[in-house]
Every structure is written in C-alpha cells, then in structure tokens.
Amino acid sequence: MQQTGQALVPPVPEQLERPVHGRMFDIPAGYRIEMHSHQWVQFTYAGAGSMQVLTEQYNFLLPPQCGMWIPAGLRHTVYSERALAFRSLYLSDAVLNGYRRECSVVQVTPLVRELIEKASGFGNDYPEQGPQARLLQVLVDEIRELPEAPFSLPLPSDPRLRRITDALQMSPEDNRSIEDWAQQVGASRRTLARLFQAQTQMPFQTWRQRLRLLAALPMLEQGGSVTAVANELGYDSVSAFIALFQRQYGETPGAFKSASTRRAGA
C-alpha cells in the first residue's frame, strides 16, 4: 500500500469560477499526485479503479464506487496502480452553508454517481441561477448525506511506531509479532502496545488486520484469485481471510471481485 511512481502536479484552480467547480483528468497507471492542499473542500471520486489517498494521519483506500471528502487545507497525496478517470468537485463555503466534515471515505449512491456523471459535462461557466446550478446544489446536498465507509487506516505519530507501520505498508504479509518489533525498534512490548492503542485507537493485531484487508481490495480488483490474495497477504488459511473480509466489508472477497469485474466491463 505504499505509494511509489512518478509524481504529477495537481491541477488545483487558483480561484473558483462557480460555487461548485468540477475537474476531470486521467491519472496514468502507477503515477501519483504529489502532496498538496487547497483552500476549498474537495470531493474526489473515480467510477472504476481503486486509489490510495495518504495524509499525515491516515492512509485511505478508495475502492470503486466510493468517494472521499477532503477538508480545506488538508495536505494529501493520491496514488493508483491502475489508470483512473479522476473526478473532483471543489466546493465553496457558499454552497456548503457552514457544513463541516472530517476527512473520510464515503459510499457513493447510484443517485450521486449519476449526478456526478451528468455534472461532468457542465464545464465551469454554467449560469449561476439556471438548472445546472440547481442540479449541482442537489448533488452537494446528497454528498453531505453519504454514509462513511470502513476504508481508512490511522497512522501513528511516534517515530518507533511509524517505522513499524511504514514497513508493514510495504510488506503487509510480514508476520512478525509485536515482541519482534519491540526488539527491532528498541522499545518494550508494553510500550508499543500502549502507544498503538493510544495513537490508532486499536491494538497492533487489529491494525495489521485492517491493513491487510485494505491491501486485498486492489489485488482482487486486478484479478487476483481469493486463494492467491490470502496467501500473498500472509493469512494462515483462505477461510480465515474470507471470514474477516466479510465481517469487515459485508461481502465475500469473491463477491467483491465479481462486482469489480462487472464495473470494469460496463
């Protein structure tokens, strides 16, 4: 889940021509958008393909049909192993009417998906009082109501923990215990366990399990078999991987893979 590849400069507008400003561009496979921020709320979405969004405090994975609410001023970088049709809406304070939300992955409904598709052809010189502006206000209202989806991974700030989490993001299959890591980073097991709970709100084992489940999503989307993905991510058994995946995401990895294949062929 670690980001690599050549960086692209994000095409962030200097000012919004309208209360809702749309941007569409393609991200080539293996490229990333360099770390940046902007002064407006951004709603990011890609109808097909998974993308990774990294902030200083979280690693987010956006599978197909999910979007992301990015608050103004939050530094972030975007990466995808596959080519993406990247779509973003920049939202001014005028259209939000004081609404605030923390950075989060959200489940995109069919209605919001269709509204985004419709709005993508408007351009940014649409009449401010016409039907296009009204449709965009409906879109913003619907985005505000989207439920949060479980595709985030909190990152600790302690340097010793970050050595561990950075290594595990590079190699999620690493099965070293917290005792092993304690020797590696020069801290006691008790200290690491306490810090993991305090800084990520979850125990080490739970954090690593969340990491592996997130890492499984793009692997399945790219056609990996359930067995191969389970083995590559270090699970003791395929059945354990299936059970944990279903508990976390509400569907089996096979069902997720099939749905991703249908979307890619649509």
- Model-level pTM? 0.85
- What does the pLDDT read at residue 88? 86
Task: Give CA torsion, residues 94, 96, 99, 105, to 10 deg.
Answer: -140
For residue 194, give Cα distances in angstroms to 174, 187, 189, 198. Answer: 21, 11, 9, 6
* Domain co-membership, 91 together with 119: yes
Q: CATH number of the domain at 175, please.
A: 1.10.10.60
Q: Given 121, 144, 167, which residue is the final one in a domain?
A: 144
Domain that holds residue 57: 7-144
- What does the pLDDT read at residue 79? 86
3-state secondary structure of 164: helix
Q: Given 104, 120, 144, which residue is the final one in a domain?
A: 144
- What does the pLDDT read at residue 245? 96
- What does the pLDDT read at residue 24? 78
Q: Which position has the token pair 């490229």?
A: 31
* Domain co-membership, 16 together with 137: yes
Q: Given 144, 176, 197, which residue is the final one in a domain?
A: 144
Q: CATH number of the domain at 108, please.
A: 2.60.120.810
Q: Residues 27, 60, 39, 132: is their CA dihedral positive or negative?
A: positive
The number of folded domains in the chain is: 2
CB atoms within 10 A of CB 257: 22
The segments of the chain whose pLDDT lies below 70 read 1-13, 47-48, 262-266
The tally of CA atoms less than 13 A away on the side-chain side of residue 44 is 33
120 domain residue, yes or no: yes
Q: How many residues does the chain have?
A: 266
Phi, psi of 86 (to 5 degrees): -85, 130
1 domain residue, yes or no: no
- What does the pLDDT read at residue 264? 59
Q: Residues 235, 240, 246, 249: is their CA dihedral positive or negative?
A: negative
Rounded Cα distance between 150 and 105, Å, is 7
- What does the pLDDT read at residue 12? 65
